[in-house]
Amino acid sequence: MKPVSDCHVLVTATSYGRSDPRLKLELETAVSRVTYNTSGKPLTSAQLQELLPDVDGFIAGLDEIDAAAIMAAPQLRVIARYGVGINNVDLAAARAQGVVVTNTPGANSASVAELTIALLLNLLRPIQQAASETRLGSWPRLNGVSLVGKTVGLVGLGAIGKEVARRLAGFDCAIVAYDVAADTDFARRHAITLVALDDLLAVADVVSLHLPVLPETRHMVNAAFLRRMKPGAYLINTSRGELIDEAALLAALIDGRVAGAALDAFQQEPPGANNPLLALPQVIPTPHMGAHSDGATNAMGRMALADCLAILRGETAKYPV
């Protein structure tokens, strides 16, 4: 086995070390060579195939890590995902090549939850419109929606869903949640009512998605899902774009069935200026920034670095997938 001091590590996560330069210094001190992604965006399989042939360790962002990319990396021993989602990684191909895949569970939960709350408040109160008009010298009287007495539905009560629930506690709203493996003790302690998905959609004034992308969740927010939502409700997605059938959401927004949507993730990222959702004033789009806070990036960087170096040293990863 090659000693870690002779290893080459590829880092494609664009915010790695941004808030804590010590992460880069520690990595650069431990290995012989580090290559960073300077494009500012996730890499395609074709781009990875050019970079991976002599790479031993890979600290990965939201890149297209398919079988072709993995097969182009004969020396690769570890893919340390800088984040939780692994839907862009071909796990079967990695396993076949003997590549360990790790991720960083819980590292960005608080950060994503904070963005969820920010988007929720911006949906209910026309803050962006008010700020824009005030800058132009106007003094608009814009009505909003109060959270007091409303119902927020959390679709998914995992690490991030729980953090959102904790932050909603001070808003005097009701919280309902759906999860296939719900933590009943947590729900009881935080006054969360666990319900079936259809019951959640029928009563929630705001529906917030906190699920991974799985075969059974891909495009789960389709025309039927949206029809079951309470008329005039709002939708928030700070999880993955693949959860939503964007054409169905567009239709529901145009006909007013859904009052507004805040989307931090899209099926295609970046979505492109021609994505019709971006043209709707009732849509708040953000560039998959849920994990982009100092606390989250530092925690993800530290966890990904530790597991990457552990595998390169012949040790056991703490967070294998």
Domain membership of residue 318 (yes or no) is no
Q: How far apart (Å, rounded) are the C-alpha atoms in residues 184 and 199?
A: 17
What CATH number is attached to the domain comprising 308? 3.40.50.720
Helix, strand or coil, per DSSP, at residue 244: strand
| 157-203 tens-digit pLDDT | 999 999 999 999 999 999 999 999 999 999 999 999 999 999 999 99
Residues 49 and 92 in one domain: yes
Residues 254 and 300 in one domain: no
Nearest 5°: CA angle at 117, between 103 and 303?
Answer: 20
Residues 128 and 55 in one domain: no
Question: Any idea which residues carry the catalytic annotation?
Answer: 240, 269, 288
Burial of 46 (0-12, 13-18, 19+ CB in 10 A): exposed
Residues 22 and 145 in one domain: no
Long-range contacts of range 75-79, CB-CB < 8 Å, 24 or more positions apart? 75/2, 75/8, 76/52, 77/311, 77/312, 78/102, 78/307, 78/308, 78/311, 78/312, 78/317
Residues 278 and 147 in one domain: yes
Sequential pLDDT tens for the chain (321 residues):
899 999 999 999 999 999 999 999 999 999 999 999 999 899 999 999 999 999 999 999 999 999 999 999 999 999 999 988 898 999 999 999 999 999 999 999 999 999 999 999 999 999 999 999 999 999 999 999 999 999 999 999 999 999 999 999 999 999 999 999 999 999 999 999 999 999 999 999 999 999 999 999 999 999 999 999 999 999 999 999 999 999 999 999 999 999 999 999 999 989 999 999 999 999 999 999 998 899 999 999 999 999 999 999 999 999 999
Residues 120 and 248 in one domain: yes
**Of 18, 30, 96, residue with least CA distance to 296:** 18
The whole-angstrom distance between residue 313's C-alpha and the CA centroid of its chain comes to 30
Residues 273 and 186 in one domain: yes
Alpha helices in the chain (DSSP H): 22-30, 45-51, 67-71, 91-96, 109-124, 127-135, 159-168, 184-189, 197-203, 223-228, 246-254, 294-312
Helix, strand or coil, per DSSP, at residue 97: coil
> How many structural domains comprise the chain?
2
**What is the domain range of residue 45?**
4-107+294-312
Residues 252 and 303 in one domain: no
